[in-house]
Every structure is written in structure tokens, then in C-alpha cells.
Amino acid sequence: MNVVLVGTDPNGLTAALEAEGHTVMVADVGNRPGLEEAGIHEADVYLLTEMSQATSIAVAKDLAPDLRVVVYAAGSLPDFASRQTDLVVDPDLLDAEAVAEEL
């Protein structure tokens, strides 16, 4: 599975995903150029790790409407972003390995 991860990765999610055999491309900023450079058009999953970049969910869905959107961060999403998100996981509840295994 192709995953585009946007944000920082303090919990080692990239390594856990790669250990499960997923291809991970990282974009520090979830704007259109960053997402396109990270391969959003070929991605199966958009994985956001920073609630402060929640607006990037709309950009990602605009570029690739069939994406599955997963948020792996503490806090809550704004209403507009939560409607486009398939799954929200708090890192305090599930570790990176469990999330990677379930994806």
C-alpha cells in the first residue's frame, strides 16, 4: 500500500509502516506542491500526524478523491476535516506498530 504521511513523526510511524511492507512518502507540509511531490496521486492512504495541518485533508481529497484518510494525532479535528476523515487514532491509545499492522 502507498501511504503519504504529512507532518512530523515522533512516534516512529514511518518505520512501523515500512516494516509492514507499505511504501511511505513523507511531506512536511500538506499543501498542493508538497502532496504532489510526495505522490498523492498514487497513494492509497493519506496519514496526517499534526492536527495543525487539518486543512490539508481537503487538499488531499481534492487531488485524490478515493484516498482513505487517517489521522494519527492527539486532539480533535475541525468539523470540516472530520467529515472527510475515515479514521482518527490517538497515539496515546494505540502505538505506531498497531496502527501500521491494521492499515
Give the 3-state secondary structure of the chain: CEEEEECCCCCCHHHHHHHCCCEEEEECCCCHHHHHHCCHHHCCEEEECCHHHCCHHHHHHHHCCCCEEEEECCCCCCHHHHCCCCEEECCCCCCHHHHHHHC
Pairing of strands 23-27, 2-6: parallel
Predicted pLDDT of residue 63 = 97
Q: What is the mean pLDDT of residues 72-80?
A: 93
Q: What is the mean pLDDT of residues 8-12?
A: 94
Predicted pLDDT of residue 49 = 96
Q: Binning pLDDT at 50, 70 and 90, where does residue 100 land?
A: very high
Residue 81, all three cell numbers: 476535516
71 strand-pairing partners = 48, 88
